[in-house]
Structure 1
Amino acid sequence: MKHLNIVYIGLVSMLLCGASACKHDDITTRPVNLNYRPGADFIKNNYDLTIFSALIDKSGMKDELNGAGPYTFIAPNDKAFTEIGLTKDKVATISEDSAKHIVQYHVITRRLMTDDIPANGVDVRYATLYDDRQLYVSNGSYSPGQEIDPTKNRKEIYFNGSLAIKKDVTVLNGNLYVTDKVMKYTPGDMQAFLADKPELSILVAGFKKFGYWDKLKGLKPFTILAPTNAVFEKAGMTEAFVNAMNTNEYYGTRLFGVYLMQGNRYFVNDFSVFRTITGVNGITVLIDPSDTWSFSMYVQTNTYTGLPTTMYITIRTALQYPYEEVKNFSDGIPANYDFLTDNGILHKIETVIVLPSQAKR
């Protein structure tokens, strides 16, 4: 399953740009009687899409993306790229293939207007230029009991959990959305993804020790919450410590199973869509069908305040009262969210959820 920086120009530049040759397009939906630029040229001519434009140049795809199309461009703004450490200088150091894969996954192979996306649709799939691999689009439109009125629907559009902050921008060969996050997609299964991330090796060791590792190659979707090695080590859980653990002495479901939600793929901002559609924000489930402990998660999305989207997670000793609260914490680093693979999604977190002392048999 399944949320424009302003570049301040110097006085001299402002004076020079009085000429029409220095005019940059405004990212708005424009009347149909104006002349349009094709997609790659439009992106290149906008101050807040400079990193995406640099990726297009690096990928060698400019002519293709200025072609007939039609295309839908999912264009992360510069802030979205810098949040994950991808600056224009960094773009110059990556390979052409890497740039191409990023760009291709951000281009849908059809013109997709907001009115084409089903109201209250969740994880509607659309093919991209990246070998027809699909991305997921959700449209939070109206709440229970509200009249279905297309003129009043909220149309909160998310591409793989990235919020469209500008919608239905017309370009010559399609249309364009500006988003607040980069879609982070890696082909293959989650097991391969984790094996390639040395900073997550302690989580991998725990999954292997307690029998979860092989599940990460299956087709069943899942969501992983992933503390990094530094987070585990701060809590005294080194890789050597985990490898030496006696599995008979601990509830593996509580110690490492708590990081794996099986059966559902949740982008963080899916919870914003669920709140719009159902009026309910969050989930409460057993951490494992064989355990009595419960896992609750909800998300606060600050769409209009500009504050970061924050996850709130609570672990309790039972699904319903009476229970004891084991852990209650929040996590609000959007750059750590929504690492998508073909069979799951991963969100890095800054907290060890359950300590070994709390998972003792």
Structure 2
Amino acid sequence: MSLKKVMFYLFAFFLLFFNACKHDELVVYKESDNYSNAADFVKNNYNFTLLYAALKQANLLELLSKEGPYTLFAPSNKAFNDLGIVRASDFAAMNQDSLRRMLQYHILPRILYRNDVPANTIDNKYVNLAGKELFVGYKYEKACATCNIRGDLYVNGALAPKTTQNIVLSNGVLHLIDKVLKYQPSVQDILSGRKEYSLFVTLLKRTGDWDRLARPEYITVFAPDNQAFEKEGITKQQLESLDPAAYYKRLWRVYLLYNHFFISDMIIYGKQAGSGYYGGPFYRAPIVGDEDYLFAIASNLEMEPFIVEKRLIDRGIPLRKTNLQPGYRTDYKADNGVVHGITGLLVLPAEAKIN
């Protein structure tokens, strides 16, 4: 081919190239064009029909259709079902202001992807639209070279599984969570507002520790429900007539831990080194005012709380253990702590009687 023809073809090629690159003919790719906003995504996802109904009832759909940015921790339908909410009409019977605040609790006015949270940490705090702090943790684990990476996100103890995180929206990001986030101003408010803990409240009022649950200091409460007392034949009348001076403080203070943690904290930190219940418990501390006894949480899969007398630690024999209630009755957050329901008593009156 002659040099003249080569130059002609090169000229024609560049002419076509630059004509194709005129700005008025360019189609600029915009990532957000391919995504729904938060309101539309929830509306069109079958797993969020109850969340959509709640947002509609609370007049929050317009907000979530705006530019944002937002991070929405979105409870699944099952999460609402666990609380007894099974149909959209159930929200109509609720106080609209309270419902709105509850839903605002699930929304951050910023984008937060999983990898924005430091791996294997807890209590990373982010302020939500209700003006309260959410405590976010991230469990990262690759147990072996061929194992899948575990990348679970937790917010106030609720799980956002790896497969339903980081759902990109045009105005933010969405993470599906397995529990509705629960909040009251104080631990005292949580317990007094739930009738299933009325006997436990009676015990705390009788022994003088009830007021402590309204103080601005962190406390985690493992709360036995009424059935736990009834199973042991303990009535309200017996609790109301109980003489605190006749019992060691472990009778009631075994349930009050001067610390702050969610059930997911145990999962993020994992099983501790050691063997048996006492080789490496997740948590162990003396009972305040009755230091010969300890409260501890086992680092086994069941994560059963228990107490143990100091001299028995080496033998690894728990005096008593109990199970956590279902997940929707744990991780109830307050400004001054957390409440977790348990199914049994950790100390019986006969075991704490001063002879």
Asked whether the two chains share a fold, i.e. TM above 0.5, the reply is yes
Aligned match of 2:352: 359
Superposed, which structure 2 residues align to 1:181-260 within 5 Å? Answer: 181-186=179-184, 188-252=185-249, 254-260=250-256
Letter in 1 for 2:305: I
Q: Secondary structure at the match of 2:176?
A: strand
Whole-Å separation in 1 of the counterparts to 2:75 and 2:104: 13
CA contact (8 A) 1:141 1:276 kept: no
The reply to whether residue 62 of structure 1 matches residue 61 of structure 2 is: yes
Instruction: For residue 290 of structure 1, report the CA deviation from its aligned partner.
Output: 3.6
Aligned match of 1:340: 333
Letter in 2 for 1:237: I
Of 147, 154, 172, the residue aligned with 1:174 is 172
- Alignment gaps of 5+ in structure 2: 1-29, 275-279
Instruction: For residue 32 of structure 1, report the CA deviation from its aligned partner.
Output: 4.1
Whole-Å separation in 2 of the counterparts to 1:215 and 1:143: 42
Instruction: For residue 178 of structure 1, report the CA deviation from its aligned partner.
Output: 0.6
Instruction: For residue 40 of structure 1, report the CA deviation from its aligned partner.
Output: 0.9
CA contact (8 A) 2:248 2:290 kept: no
Whole-Å separation in 2 of the counterparts to 1:71 and 1:300: 37
Q: Secondary structure at the match of 2:306?
A: strand
CA contact (8 A) 2:246 2:353 kept: yes
Whole-Å separation in 2 of the counterparts to 1:344 and 1:175: 28
Matched residue count: 314
CA contact (8 A) 1:318 1:324 kept: no
Residues 65 and 281 of structure 1: CA distance in aligned 2, closer, same or farther (over 3 Å): farther
CA contact (8 A) 1:139 1:273 kept: yes
Letter in 2 for 1:116: D
CA contact (8 A) 2:272 2:299 kept: no
CA contact (8 A) 1:274 1:281 kept: no
CA contact (8 A) 1:269 1:299 kept: no
Whole-Å separation in 1 of the counterparts to 2:200 and 2:64: 40
The reply to whether residue 161 of structure 1 matches residue 147 of structure 2 is: no
Identical positions, percent:
31
Aligned match of 1:77: 76
Superposed, which structure 2 residues align to 1:1-361 within 5 Å? Answer: 32=31, 35-88=34-87, 89-130=89-130, 132-142=131-141, 154-165=150-161, 166-186=164-184, 188-252=185-249, 254-262=250-258, 264-275=259-270, 282-288=282-288, 290-298=290-298, 310-318=302-310, 320-321=313-314, 325-361=318-354
Instruction: For residue 114 of structure 1, report the CA deviation from its aligned partner.
Output: 1.4
Instruction: For residue 231 of structure 1, report the CA deviation from its aligned partner.
Output: 2.4
Letter in 2 for 1:67: K
Whole-Å separation in 2 of the counterparts to 1:329 and 1:255: 15
Instruction: For residue 269 of structure 1, report the CA deviation from its aligned partner.
Output: 1.3
CA contact (8 A) 2:119 2:139 kept: yes
Whole-Å separation in 2 of the counterparts to 1:155 and 1:185: 26
Q: Which has the larger radius of gyration?
A: 2
Instruction: For residue 92 of structure 1, report the CA deviation from its aligned partner.
Output: 2.8
Superposed CA RMSD in Å reads: 2.7
Residues 75 and 281 of structure 1: CA distance in aligned 2, closer, same or farther (over 3 Å): farther
Whole-Å separation in 1 of the counterparts to 2:174 and 2:57: 20
Residues 109 and 257 of structure 1: CA distance in aligned 2, closer, same or farther (over 3 Å): same
Letter in 1 for 2:212: K
Instruction: For residue 278 of structure 1, report the CA deviation from its aligned partner.
Output: 8.7
Q: Deviations over 1:144-188 (max 9, x none)?
A: 9x9xxxxx96432101111112111001100100111111112x2
Whole-Å separation in 1 of the counterparts to 2:200 and 2:102: 27
Whole-Å separation in 2 of the counterparts to 1:317 and 1:325: 8
Whole-Å separation in 2 of the counterparts to 1:189 and 1:108: 22
CA contact (8 A) 1:195 1:204 kept: yes
Q: Deviations over 1:11-48 (max 9, x none)?
A: xxxxxxxxxxxxxxxxxxxx948621110110110011
- Alignment gaps of 5+ in structure 1: 1-30, 147-151, 302-309
Q: Secondary structure at the match of 2:72?
A: strand
Normalised by the length of structure 2, the TM-score is 0.81
Normalised by the length of structure 1, the TM-score is 0.80
